[in-house]
Chain A
Amino acid sequence: MDAIGVLMLCPMNNYLEQELDKRFNLFRYWTQPNQTEFLAQHADSIRAVVGNSTAGASADLIDALPKLEIVSNFSVGLDKIDLTRCKEKGVRVTNTPDVLTDDVADLAIGLMLAVLRRICQCDKYVRSGAWKLGDFRLTTKFSGKRVGIIGLGRIGLAVAERAEAFDCPVSYYSRSKKADTNYTYYGSVAELASNSDVLVVACALTPETTHVVNREVLDALGPKGVLINIGRGPHVDEAELVSALVEGRLGGAGLDVFEKEPQVPEELFGLENVVLLPHVASGTEETRIAMADLVLGNLEAHFSSKALLTPVV
């Protein structure tokens, strides 16, 4: 298979890169000084694209690769892929569901605890020597807080299961009510937010869910409410979020994603009621290997004319 051209869009994982290099004719898009020239020269030999949550197969790229057969994504989110164009051109698309569900859900709870119990601030407090001058203040209990989840898919459900172990009443918003759960359903995100102490974004990013967390929702969540974003930056109206936090209209936030990663609004750096992470929700050694193996497995299946492991299109 090492004659098959695979275009990797950005650095994402050393193990994946090495394996792609071993098994295919790997092109590293980010090392090309002139990407237009590169495409003009090599487009015809590229039959697969590997992207992630940062860089994806846009319509332009798909159009520039006439021999493209498959986009195998190193992420579960599909928001960076033009799925419509893929369908039109008969390009298959695979992602990495399930293997990262636990890590993402773990991080959501980790963020809730870090924000409410000020764990990161406490760590900073000790390291700075401040503890010698006085105790850190009392923080906010997590157990029993009402957790509202936007999107009750794999990740949303995994968050719910964990929250239940802390006796947190769980409710959710979804496009439609789920028949097989006992969690309380709300027909709008604003209503969910009004009835939650902690609001978690756990749905896919689509044109409909862009800015699903807006001023109205933030107002409903309120000055004691905490927003946790483990979805995508564009789920939240970031400018509104920043002003709500700076002005004290929102109680706190735990954010793993931002509208323009790796840029993070600097107004947040001085706030003690936020926790800011560099998009690490699936970032464990075990899970990244499992994700890489899925990418490789999907590519090998496709090029051996076998059934794809985790097809989306």
Chain B
Amino acid sequence: MGQEINGFHHLLNGDGPPLPGGDRPDLLVLRPGLLFKVFEQEFLAKFNVLKAFESPLPLDKYLRDHAQSARAILCEAIVTRITADLLLQLPALELVVADGTGVNHIDLAECHRRGISVTNTGDIFSEDTADYGVGLLIDVMRRISRADAFVRRGSWPVTAEFPLGRKVRGKRVGIVGLGNIGTKLARRLEAFGCKVSYNSRTKKQSAPYDFHPTVVDLASQSDILIICCSLTEKTRHIINEEVLNALGKKGILINIGRGPIVDEKTLVKYLVDGKIAGAAMDVYENEPRVPSELFGLDNVVLSPHRGAFTEEAFFDAFKIVMGNLDAFFSNTSLLTPVSTNE
């Protein structure tokens, strides 16, 4: 199943510049992510795409038979793991192209050892994710989704009153993770008159916002806490009981980072028990499973991991992915290389 991006394919003017040499180079795809599915025709036109997922062979046999000369792999991040073991089976591999921002699924150290370059999609998805964070914030504060549902079920003529929301201007917003997404989010929220402060791995010298040394400290000084950081061993379950207590009964939690950053069981309990005022979640610990206790709550906004998923972002991501592949196969500089040397 593919997703058509209406109105964008026509902008692609055919295949783009042809690659040097005669034959189309091999491009290994173990499992098709959304980007590959949407732009499959464009990839097929330029590459000999090795579709491991269409082969009846077990993966190791497929790689042995077909991928020994493959210099590049395009990978999605949901299921694929680029492990040292996998890399062993790809002796010619020189480039791993991730179809998104995160590279947690790639053994960067092993790539470094092997001299394999890795690219991601750079900053492409951060604007849409920041926009979505603002949208979720306004929704949970002003009850937009609940009000829309109220009108659609015909309740307005019956129950004239809809519960009041809360004013956004003047609220203290604590951003956890002031990276690409957090920075864009902060700029947007300032225009609404929110008072922005943050916690991050390191203090950002150029950021005009107050830095809090711990997430608990940030939460204790925030009306709204927004998670924008990436998932690492250090950030797993960093939003825990202590943080939620510090956020308090009038506090709102918004997660546009990754589900496992939040102790979901505790969050659900706190929402059900009224120990925090509300939440907006785009991500969960076990997607697509969402705790059903949340479905009956009026003070939560639930989203199916769509923070970055706009047609425009996917089109731009495709251009970067293709740009990196073009650069690699013409021996010019990669557009968005990821450092493998940590």
B113 within 8 A of A: no
Q: Are A286 and B166 in contact (CB under 8 A)?
A: yes
Q: Which residues of A contact B295 (CB under 8 A)?
A: 127
Q: Are B151 and A264 in contact (CB under 8 A)?
A: yes
In the bound complex, CA of A11 to CA of B295 (Å): 31
State which of A11, A123, A269 has its C-beta within 8 Å of the C-beta of B302.
Answer: A123
Q: Which residues of A contact B156 (CB under 8 A)?
A: 261-262, 264, 278
In the bound complex, CA of A109 to CA of B145 (Å): 14
State which of B135, B160, B164 has its C-beta within 8 Å of the C-beta of A117.
Answer: B135
Q: Which residues of A contact B51 (CB under 8 A)?
A: none
| Distance (whole angstroms) from the CB of B173 to the closest CB of chain A | 13
Knowing A164-B191, A276-B148, A278-B150, say if A140 contacts B306 (CB, 8 Å): no
Knowing A113-B134, A123-B303, A277-B147, say if A140 contacts B168 (CB, 8 Å): no
Q: Which residues of A contact B319 (CB under 8 A)?
A: none
Residue of B nearest to A277 (CB): B147
Q: Are B162 and A280 in contact (CB under 8 A)?
A: yes
Q: Are A280 and B288 in contact (CB under 8 A)?
A: no
| Distance (whole angstroms) from the CB of A146 to the closest CB of chain B | 14
A34-77 interface code vs B (CB 8 A; 1 in, 0 out): 00000000000000000000000000000000000000000000
Knowing A139-B311, A141-B313, say if A280 contacts B165 (CB, 8 Å): yes
In the bound complex, CA of A124 to CA of B303 (Å): 9
In the bound complex, CA of A294 to CA of B152 (Å): 33
Q: Which of A99-107, A228-236, A238-246 contacts B (4 or more CB under 8 A)?
A: A99-107
Q: Are B192 and A106 in contact (CB under 8 A)?
A: yes
Q: Which residues of A contact B210 (CB under 8 A)?
A: none
Residue of B nearest to A128 (CB): B295
Residue of A nearest to B189 (CB): A165
In the bound complex, CA of A132 to CA of B127 (Å): 27
In the bound complex, CA of A142 to CA of B148 (Å): 20
Q: Are B304 and A122 in contact (CB under 8 A)?
A: yes
In the bound complex, CA of A141 to CA of B134 (Å): 13
State which of B128, B151, B167, B303 has its C-beta within 8 Å of the C-beta of A122.
Answer: B303
Interface residues in B, total, Cβ within 8 A? 58
Q: Which residues of A contact B5 (CB under 8 A)?
A: 138
Q: Are A143 and B142 in contact (CB under 8 A)?
A: no
Interface positions, chain B 164-193, Cβ under 8 Å from A, are: 164-169, 187-188, 190-193
Q: Are B150 and A106 in contact (CB under 8 A)?
A: no
B10 within 8 A of A: no
Q: Which residues of B contact A142 (CB under 8 A)?
A: 128, 131, 135
B187-206 interface code vs A (CB 8 A; 1 in, 0 out): 11011110000000000000
Q: Which residues of B contact A125 (CB under 8 A)?
A: 304
Residue of B nearest to A255 (CB): B151
A175 within 8 A of B: no
B118-140 interface code vs A (CB 8 A; 1 in, 0 out): 00000000011011101110110
Q: Which residues of A contact B144 (CB under 8 A)?
A: 107, 110-111, 114, 119-120, 275, 277
Q: Which residues of B contact A141 (CB under 8 A)?
A: 127-128, 131, 310-313
Q: Which residues of A contact B168 (CB under 8 A)?
A: 102-103, 106
Residue of A nearest to B188 (CB): A165
In the bound complex, CA of A123 to CA of B290 (Å): 12
State which of B127, B190, B287 has its C-beta within 8 Å of the C-beta of A143.
Answer: B127
Q: Are B314 and A138 in contact (CB under 8 A)?
A: yes
Knowing A136-B306, A143-B127, say if A113 contacts B138 (CB, 8 Å): yes
Q: Which residues of B contact A283 (CB under 8 A)?
A: 142, 162, 164-165
Q: Which residues of B contact A136 (CB under 8 A)?
A: 304, 306, 309
A137 within 8 A of B: yes
| Distance (whole angstroms) from the CB of A13 to the closest CB of chain B | 9
Q: Are A126 and B302 in contact (CB under 8 A)?
A: yes
Q: Which residues of A contact B131 (CB under 8 A)?
A: 113, 117, 141-143, 166
In the bound complex, CA of A131 to CA of B304 (Å): 7
B90 within 8 A of A: no
Q: Which residues of B contact A143 (CB under 8 A)?
A: 127-128, 130-131
Q: Are B142 and A165 in contact (CB under 8 A)?
A: no
In the bound complex, CA of A109 to CA of B188 (Å): 11
Q: Which residues of A contact B165 (CB under 8 A)?
A: 280, 283-285
Q: Are A110 and B157 in contact (CB under 8 A)?
A: no
In the bound complex, CA of A64 to CA of B151 (Å): 36
Residue of A nearest to B296 (CB): A127
| Distance (whole angstroms) from the CB of A144 to the closest CB of chain B | 8
Q: Which residues of A contact B148 (CB under 8 A)?
A: 114, 120, 275-277
Q: Are B301 and A119 in contact (CB under 8 A)?
A: yes
State which of B138, B305, B310 has its C-beta within 8 Å of the C-beta of A139.
Answer: B310
B3-15 interface code vs A (CB 8 A; 1 in, 0 out): 1010000000000
B289 within 8 A of A: yes
Q: Which residues of B contact A118 (CB under 8 A)?
A: 306
In the bound complex, CA of A142 to CA of B136 (Å): 13
| Distance (whole angstroms) from the CB of A293 to the closest CB of chain B | 14
A to B CB contacts below 8 Å, 25 in the list = A102-B192, A106-B138, A113-B138, A117-B132, A117-B306, A119-B301, A120-B148, A123-B302, A126-B304, A132-B288, A134-B1, A137-B3, A138-B3, A139-B306, A139-B309, A141-B127, A141-B128, A141-B313, A143-B130, A165-B191, A269-B151, A280-B143, A280-B164, A284-B167, A285-B165
New A-B contacts (15) at CB < 8 Å, excluding given A277-B148, A278-B156: A107-B142, A109-B192, A120-B145, A123-B303, A126-B303, A138-B314, A139-B311, A141-B128, A141-B131, A142-B135, A264-B156, A275-B148, A278-B150, A284-B164, A285-B164
Residue ranges of A at the interface with B (Cβ–Cβ < 8 Å) = 11, 102-103, 106-107, 109-111, 113-114, 117-120, 122-127, 131-132, 134-143, 161-162, 164-166, 261-264, 269, 275-278, 280, 283-288
